[in-house]
Structure 1
Amino acid sequence: MKTKGAHSRASIPIAAALTTCLSGCGNLDVLDPKGSIGLAEKSLIGTATFTMLIVVVPVILMTLWFAWRYRASNRHAKYAPKWAHSTAIEVVIWTVPSIIILCLGILTWKTTHELDPYKPIESAVKPINVEVVALDWKWLFIYPDLGIASVNQLAFPVGTPVNFMITSDSVMNSFFIPQLGSQIYAMAGMQTQLHLIADEAGDFAGVSANYSGRGFSDMKFRALATNPEQFNAWVEKVKASSDRLDMNEYSTVSQPSEKAPVRYFSSVDPKLFYNIIAKYNNGHVLDLRNSNCSTKG
């Protein structure tokens, strides 16, 4: 049983692009998507931008033309000091923006539901489950089905849906892999979801898109999309680590640190993710899409 409550999301693509710019990224990764979700969001950004330019460009050109046409030195321009109203102009300046706003509203409504981060990706390939914990100032990735975990490095096979369950054991953060698509908040005591897929192999940047304190600028990770053989080799490398992530070790890992190096854990407490959430809710797990809380662990 899980609880239906406020579903906090941050998947609006235009906001994502602006966040990427302001966070100091050297390039606009969000405009170079490598997955179906990212491609759909890039299309939405382009469509919305060009639609708004239908008003913006004519306004800019007409402003420049009016300034030239009605300059003080132009004695041939019609002088009409008592002119106050034109029905034709009123119809144009109200109708065109209204149509554009209506089109953008329909587009936003449609794509918001299509790109819902809680909506699983349809695929014949079995998805990989990853539990994500935002810490100060690093990311912990737990693979519950594989019994392993890593810090600041995420791996998954190309063409395989990844089901993320996301929370925070610190202040609010936002989980974001720009080239794969949607970002979504990570909040203490709450569980959010995100579904992504990579259509191409690559080493993608992952960031926190929500300011979270002193070490925020270095709260980054790498997302490795590989072929199945390389992913299996990565799993074996993680399993070869001598580190094990139980509750005692987690208390050390969760301490604030900046520029944290990649770290592997060959085993992980299966209840760790839910224990992190439940400690903020008297033993209950809150899912932001659902309205009943559940006790896990």
Structure 2
Amino acid sequence: MNRTKGLSVLLLFIFSALLLSGCENNLLVFDPQGPVAREIMGLINYSIVLMLLVTGVVFALFIYIVWKYREKKENMDYEPPEEHGSTLLEVIWTIIPIVIIVALTIPTVKTIYATEKVPKGYEDQKPLVIHVTSADWKWIFSYPEQGIETINYVNIPEDRPIDFKLTSAGTMQSFWIPQLAGQKYTMAHAETQLYMVADNPGSYVGKNTNFNGRGFAEMEFETLVQTKEDFDKWVKEVKETAPQMTEKEYEKKLEPSHLGRETFSNTHLEWVDHSDHNSKNYLNPEMYDRGHGWPGKIFEDKNNYKNRLKDSDGGSRHHSGSSTEDSHGGEHHGN
């Protein structure tokens, strides 16, 4: 009797702790601000309810069995008979997990396919194409139609489909805006695609969820959703006032570092598209020294842009810099 009460108290304590811990954190995925994020939240809620149902049944059976077959004075000398199993029970507890998996798989697949295209109700609108390039440890956003580029922030209009074309200048990252869309990986010499729509103007946090070194924790960006008028005004202002970036400046920015917000009136797509399988390699492994004296291995890659310097210098040119040094760039022309 006392053991059963103790078990019940323990389960109640664990459930309360989980509930309270969830309330204390700002769970952005449960505050969707767009149709894609709502699709994902619906799947999360469905999965939670299904898992709670399964967990509840399992714990209820556990408590019932512990109570029913507990040791009592009248059965102290009880010896259970030899059992040879039950075919019916074995079939049942084999089928149940299959049913659970199917119940999770069907809505998951439907949600995946729904988020891989322009959300319903926006099919007649032309998506705004934004190329996203990740680098250690910064995010670069290129607007090919507008001919502008930003670093560590992205401005988008409300109620218009956004077509993010994702790639990486080096290591693999994971692009995620919890309140607006799901996450997708960015990989060098490859391109992934992410659609989303934002319902309401406001500022939403974006981040990298793939651990890739000491600068990972601060690799965040702001997604500023604006009205169409404010977005057009911002684009016009950037084209008139922001400086242009050169290829040499861009290569420097790709070195492992943290940058501030920067804005340019051109894009790096003029000279390199990192999603192209034949594009140059911009990895800088010799700059990842974590203080232990052993930087990453420097792989000789004839496609690496720095190998162009060997013929003229007689060897590989040393690049100074530190991954711990913050680099704060130009003026932010957004919010």
Q: Classify the TM-score, shorter chain.
A: 0.7 to 0.9
- AA partner of residue 278 (structure 2): N
Per mean C-alpha deviation after superposition, the further-off stretch among 41-50 and 75-84 is: 75-84
Please identify which structure carries the higher helix content.
2
Q: SS in structure 2 opposite 1:145?
A: coil
Percent identical pairs in the alignment equals: 34
Q: Tell me what 2:199 maps to.
A: 199
Q: Tell me what 2:239 maps to.
A: 239
CA deviations 1:60-79 (Å, max 9, x no partner) are 12212322333324647995
Gaps of 5+ in 1: 1-20, 284-297
Residues 1-297 of structure 1 aligned to structure 2 (within 5 Å): 26-73=25-72, 75=74, 81-82=80-81, 84=83, 85-87=85-87, 89-116=89-116, 119-121=117-119, 122-258=122-258, 260-274=259-273, 276-278=274-276, 281=278
- C-alpha change, 1:153 and 1:74, in structure 2 (3 Å) is farther
**Aligned partners of 2:250 and 2:268 also within 8 Å:** no
Gaps of 5+ in 2: 1-20, 281-335
Distance in 2 of aligned mates of 1:64 and 1:112: 38
- C-alpha change, 1:59 and 1:80, in structure 2 (3 Å) is farther
Shift of 1:45: 1.2
Shift of 1:273: 4.8
TM-score (norm 2): 0.69
Shift of 1:208: 0.7
- AA partner of residue 57 (structure 2): P
Which portions of structure 1, spanning 4 or more consecutive aligned residues, are displaced by more than 6 angstroms? none
CA deviations 1:169-200 (Å, max 9, x no partner) are 12000111111122111111111111111112
**Aligned partners of 2:130 and 2:144 also within 8 Å:** yes
- C-alpha change, 1:242 and 1:180, in structure 2 (3 Å) is closer
Larger RCO: 1 or 2 (CA < 8 Å, sep 6+): 1
**Aligned partners of 1:131 and 1:165 also within 8 Å:** yes
Shift of 1:87: 4.9
Shift of 1:261: 1.4
TM-score (norm 1): 0.77
- C-alpha change, 1:241 and 1:249, in structure 2 (3 Å) is farther
Q: SS in structure 2 opposite 1:56?
A: helix
The CA RMSD measured in Å over matched residues stands at 2.7
- AA partner of residue 166 (structure 2): I
